[in-house]
Amino acid sequence: MIIPVILSGGSGTRLWPLSRAQYPKQLLALAGDRTMLQETVARVEGIADTGSVYCVCNEDHRFMVAEQLRQVTDDLGDIILEPVGRNTAPAAAVAALRIQEKFPDAIMLLLPADHLIQDTDAFVKAVRLGCKAAEEGTLVTFGIVPDAPETGYGYIKAAMSYKNGVDKGVHPVEEFVEKPGRETAEKYVKSGEYFWNSGMFLFKASTYLEELELYNPEILAVCKASLGKAADDLDFLRLDEESFSVCPSDSIDYAVMEKTMHAAVVPLDAGWSDVGAWSALWGVKERDSSGNVVKGDVLLHDVQNSFIQASSRMVAAIGVDDHVIVETPDAVLVASKDSVQDVKTIVERLKSEGRDEVITHVRVNRPWGSYETVDRSDRFLVKRIIVKPGSALSLQKHYHRAEHWIVVKGTARITVGDEEVILREDQSTYIPLGTKHRLENPGKIPLELIEVQTGSYLGEDDIERFDDKYGRSTVSANGQFASGKQ
């Protein structure tokens, strides 16, 4: 029995400004119409014997992850929420513990949510090839057949050589190698004995837990404690924060694979990419006759081998070669293609300066809909709010701002203090500072309204919640006050 487990906890900072902390790359449609998370789920159709797909994700992303999964599968296992990120070894451990409770002999197919695989048939064939070894107690990883001396990946050396795609067997692992320099990488590729480390794994849940207990028992003990105190929360399994927060942060490679005597590698040649930078996305997308990848309202003159994406306005480029230009409503990235790995430097600077552009987009998705900042100044803020049919914001109040609401589409049911009113298009209301209020959409079409906030402080942490249908509290998992429009 194979059960896919998708790890969706990454932040994808090297794809800024499109990928951000609250909207990372695995939740974006980068290579097609579906998001990378949805593509990963689609990839395992026909592999999962029970039909169930398990997912481990960041607590902040839970509603977007759940919504995206519902769009592509009717049979969800657990969506396990990590209160803090602790790398892949603990994430795999809690999933393995949970799966073992229901399916003691199950094989886990562990997949990052943000990888691109162009040849799904080849991927499925490789998984089937590794199943027998996994059933016999081997911890299988998938080694990507390298097509270039890439220095951004770790490498796996197989104990038996693999040359020219002839031998497609399961090979014992001789060693795992850290990211090499250029000269060493060229030797690895030429030898035919090394593969890129994909970070995808296939093993019995019980085998992984046995090896983790042998080589890193502290991680296993903490995961057991956190899972033992976990709580069901709507569609989610919420790990105990106090227990999980003390868990050592370690990858599966370091915690188990580099130590175990039972590691094997299956070669995979399937058009794989971890889409770790804009140059990688350029490499996998269809290009025009000048070598350009273009998306959105873009005008080009004398431009070659570039990636240019416009999200909210027209972008014109002239005389550019080997560049990346990415426009969003609140930020524009311009970089030479061979420097895109340094995007993380910009991200770190934005973090240090406390800038919102590294955390959220202008449009922020919430379980009830979305909101978008239209204009702001020191004492006012204008937002466009969209509420899905049947959805409602929490019952809340603010201590430093009042709010004016104007309905522009649909019907709103509004609670202000002890009164409840129905507003339709072109009608408005006023929420005085310090007054309990709630916004609901009782209709069949999306509700759209304009909100004008006025006051001495307009931060999203000015909120006290009294009731919320999505189980959110006033204080978020990171200790900050939860967003007022969250």
At 187-219, the pLDDT tens digits run: 999 998 899 999 999 999 999 999 999 999 999
Mean of the per-residue pLDDT values for the chain? 92
pLDDT for 323 equals: 98
Quick: pLDDT tens for 73-84.
887 889 999 999
pLDDT of amino acid 484: 41
* Exposure string for 374-408, b = 16+ CB within 10 A, e = fewer: eeeeeeebebbbbbeeebbbbbbbbeebebbbbbe
Q: Which helix (H) or strand (E) holds 64?
A: helix 62-72
* Superfamily for domain range 363-467: Jelly Rolls (2.60.120.10)
Could you read off the pLDDT of 108-119 as tens digits, one per residue?
999 999 999 999
- In this prediction, residue 160 has a pLDDT band, given cuts at 50, 70 and 90, of low
Model confidence at 407: pLDDT above 90: yes
pLDDT higher than 90, residue 49: no
**Which CB contacts under 8 angstroms, 24+ apart, belong to 309-313?**
309/18, 311/18
- At 480, is the pLDDT very low, low, confident or very high (cuts 50, 70, 90)? very low
486: pLDDT strictly greater than 80:
no
pLDDT at 260 over 50: yes
What's the pTM?
Answer: 0.87
* pLDDT for 164: 44
Looking at the predicted structure, is the pLDDT value of residue 150 above 70? yes
Q: Give which of 36, 34, 46 is closest to 71, Cα–Cα.
A: 34
What value does the mean pLDDT take over residues 235-258? 95
Q: CA angle, corner 156, sides to 151 and 158, nearest 5?
A: 140
Give residue limits of the domains in the chain. 2-273, 278-344, 363-467
The better pLDDT of the pair 191, 450 is held by 450
pLDDT at 479: 35
pLDDT of 34 higher than 70: yes
Supply the DSSP string of 384-414, one letter for each residue.
EEEE-TT-BPPEEE-SSEEEEEEEEES-EEE
CATH number of 2-273: 3.90.550.10
User: How does pLDDT run across 336-358, given as a tens digit for each residue?
Assistant: 999 998 999 999 999 999 998 99
Lowest-confidence pick of 7-21, 44-58, 229-243, 293-307:
44-58
What per-residue confidence (pLDDT) applies to 406? 98
